[in-house]
Amino acid sequence: MIENINWYPGHMKKTRELIQQNLKAVDVVVEIIDARIPYSSRNPIIDDLCKGKDRIIVLGKGDLADPTSNKDWLTHFQGYGDEDGNDGIVCAVMMNSMTGEGSKELLKALDKVERKKQDTLKVKQEQSAEKGSALRLRENRPLRIMVVGVPNVGKSSFINRMTGKKSTQVGDRPGVTKGKQWLTLKNGMQLLDTPGILWPKFEDPNVGLYLAFCGSIKDEIIDSADLALELIKVLQERYPDMLMERYKLDELDEDALVNMEAIAQKRGFIMAGKRIDYERTARTVLDEFRAGKIGRITLELP
């Protein structure tokens, strides 16, 4: 097991402060999580920061996750509200930002929040009229949405889909979005993008591993061969048939290192002196997992 991952850079603290500073200016928080690791990609800091705000959970990258598990996670999140009786989670939506699947369901959820906002505004207007004062115009504004999530979870792709144009830079590595930016949707709603935010310490070591598998932690701070070896251990236990089929393996050994070397042999990743190119093998396994080439895989169940 990989331990002591040192990954909490200064911009994470700045992002937390940015969310705190702008939370009062928004009506609803859209939290993007990775459908392959819905538990590990939910930042507990966001739960604390956004307490009392309406929230919509968007399970992104569902096209890379196990379809059956996707349905189970949607069921799990439906009606999953704030234990203290606050507004909590409005709903959960499975969305593919590349194809737009799930966009209609999300817009319906946002419309629900908008109607609630308008009802609240109407009550305030009536109260103001009774007191003989006019409601300040700034309160009668378009719905404002804050998008949050861990790094490399697909926020930029989601925002580009919602705005209908390439509003933000998209990358397959964490840390592409550097600062906040306000954007306007076609229906007039305003959207605030924020950089990905992780949290200082993982109570469960598997959380750090799963985030690293999916690219939410920068590869530069973890040895790729060690990380790929851990991934192979998980896959040979949970998705052995997919692993064997992808790399044309006749059988799997109990030792993940033996399987990693077999993958290298099949792909021809051999250096001078018949030495295994572990780095190239690791990079291939990680990249192909993240791209869904090994198969549609979910690492966590409700």
Q: For position 164, what pLDDT does the model report?
A: 82
Q: For position 8, what pLDDT does the model report?
A: 56
Q: What one-character-per-residue DSSP string does 131-160 give?
A: TT-PPPGGGS---EEEEE-STTSSHHHHHH
Q: For position 214, what pLDDT does the model report?
A: 95
Q: For position 21, what pLDDT does the model report?
A: 83
Which residue has tokens 């399970």? 59
DSSP 105: H
DSSP 173: S
Residues in the chain: 302
CA-nearest of 140, 144, 116 to 128 is: 140
Give, in order, the Cα–Cα distances in Å from 150 to each of 16, 41, 267, 273.
Answer: 11, 6, 33, 42
pLDDT, tens digit, 9 for 90 and up, residues 119-148: 877 877 777 666 666 555 455 678 999 999
Query: Hey, where are the domains in the chain?
Result: 10-193, 224-290
| CA 270 – CA 9 distance, rounded (Å) | 36
10 pLDDT tier (thresholds 50, 70, 90): low
167 pLDDT tier (thresholds 50, 70, 90): low
Q: What does the pLDDT average to over 169-197?
A: 69
Q: For position 171, what pLDDT does the model report?
A: 45
Q: For position 81, what pLDDT does the model report?
A: 53
Which residue has tokens 């598990």? 69
Q: Which residues pair with 101 in a beta bridge?
A: 96
Architecture of domain 224-290: Orthogonal Bundle (1.10)
Q: What does the pLDDT average to over 88-112?
A: 87
Which structure tokens are listed for 44?
């507990």
Stretch among 147-161, 166-180, 276-290 having the lowest mean pLDDT: 166-180
| CA 57 – CA 106 distance, rounded (Å) | 9
Q: For position 200, what pLDDT does the model report?
A: 67
Q: Which tops the pLDDT comparison, 11 or 84?
A: 11
Q: In what order do the strands lie in the sheet with 181-184?
A: 89-94, 54-60, 28-34, 144-148, 190-193, 181-184
Helix axes 256-267, 278-290, angle to 10 degrees: 90
Q: pTM to 2 decimals?
A: 0.83
Give, in order, the Cα–Cα distances in Å from 178 to each of 141, 174, 195, 196, 211.
Answer: 27, 10, 6, 9, 19
Q: Highest-confidence range of 6-10, 44-48, 119-123, 152-156, by mean pLDDT?
A: 152-156
Sort 80 into a burial class: Cβ within 10 Å, 0-12 / 13-18 / 19+.
middle
99 pLDDT tier (thresholds 50, 70, 90): confident
Fold (CATH) for 10-193? Rossmann fold (3.40.50)
Give, in order, the Cα–Cα distances in Å from 94 to each of 75, 108, 253.
Answer: 11, 13, 36
| CA 115 – CA 221 distance, rounded (Å) | 46
pLDDT at 241 over 70: yes
Widest pairwise Cα distance in the chain: 88
Instruction: Give percent of the chain with pLDDT exceeding 70.
Output: 83
Q: Over the chain, what is the mean pLDDT? A: 84
Helix axes 155-163, 103-130, angle to 10 degrees: 70
Sort 211 into a burial class: Cβ within 10 Å, 0-12 / 13-18 / 19+.
buried
| CA 110 – CA 91 distance, rounded (Å) | 10
